[in-house]
Amino acid sequence: MATDAFFLSSLAAFFLLLRLTAATGRSQERCGFPAIYNFGDSNSDTGAISATLSEILPPNGESFFGKPAGRNCDGRLIIDFAAENLGLPYLSPYLDSVGANFRHGANFATGGSSIRPGGFSPFDLSIQISQFIQFKARTIALYNQLSPDRTMPPFKSGLPRPEDFSKALYTFDIGQNDIGYGLQHGTDDQVQASFPDILNKFSDAVELLYKEGARFFWVHNTGPFGCLPYNIIYYSLKPNNLDRNGCVIPQNELSKEFNRQLKEKVSWLRTKLSQAVFTYVDVYSAKYSVINDAKNLGFVDPSTFCCGSYYGYHIDCGKKAVVHGTVYGNPCDHPASHISWDGIHYSQAANQWIANRIFTGSFSEPPVPIWGSCRDSSNVRS
| Cα gap 373→364, rounded to integer Å | 10
Q: Annotated catalytic residue: which of 9, 41, 42, 362? A: 42
80: annotated active-site residue = no
Select which of 345, 347, 362, 364 is catalytic: 345
Length of the chain: 382
Annotation marks residue 342 as catalytic:
yes
3-state helix/strand/coil string of 36-101:
EEEEECCCCCCCHHHHHCCCCCCCCCCCCCCCCCCCCCCCCCHHHHHHHHCCCCCCCECCCCCCCC
As a whole number of angstroms, the distance between CA 219 and CA 216 comes to 10
Q: Among candidates 261, 354, 338, which has minimal Cα distance to 303?
A: 338
CA atoms of 27 and 25, how far apart (whole Å): 7
CA–CA separation, 380 and 360 (whole Å): 14
Rounded Cα distance, 104 and 83, in Å = 10
Burial of 185 (0-12, 13-18, 19+ CB in 10 A): exposed
For 305-325, b/e burial (b = at least 16 CB within 10 A) is bbbbbbeeebbbbbeeeeeee
- Select which of 45, 74, 124, 342 is catalytic: 342
Q: Which residues are catalytic?
A: 42, 342, 345
